[in-house]
Chain A
Amino acid sequence: EIVLTQSPGTLSLSPGERATLSCRASQSVSSTSLAWYQQKPGLAPRLLIYGASTRATGIADRFSGSGSGTDFTLTISRLEAEDFAVYYCQQYGRPPTFGGGTKVEIK
Chain B
Amino acid sequence: EVQLVQSGAEVKKSGESLKISCKGSGYSFTSFWIGWVRQMPGKGPEWMGIIYPFDSDTRYSPSFQGQVTISADKSINTAYLQWSSLKASDTAMYYCARKPPGIAAASYAFDVWGQGTMLTVSS
The residues of A with any CB-CB pair to B shorter than 8 Å are 1, 32-35, 37, 44-47, 50-52, 54, 56-57, 88, 90, 92, 95-101
A50:B113 contact, CB within 8 angstroms: no
22 contacts between A and B (CB under 8 A): A32-B104, A33-B105, A35-B108, A37-B110, A44-B113, A45-B37, A45-B110, A50-B108, A50-B109, A51-B108, A52-B105, A56-B111, A57-B111, A92-B109, A95-B62, A95-B63, A96-B47, A96-B61, A97-B46, A97-B47, A98-B44, A100-B44
Min CB distance, A2 to chain B, in Å? 11
- A101 with B44: in contact, given A44-B113, A45-B113 (CB under 8 Å)? yes
A47 vs B109: C-alpha distance in the bound complex, in angstroms?
A: 8
Question: Could you tell me the distance in whole angstroms from the C-beta of B39 to the nearest C-beta in chain A?
Answer: 8
Interface residues contributed by chain B, number (CB under 8 Å): 23
- Mostly, the B contact residues are loop
Give the residues in chain B near A35, CB-CB below 8 Å.
108-110
Contacts of B108 in A (CB 8 A): 32-35, 50-51, 92
A33–B104 Cα gap in the complex (Å)?
9
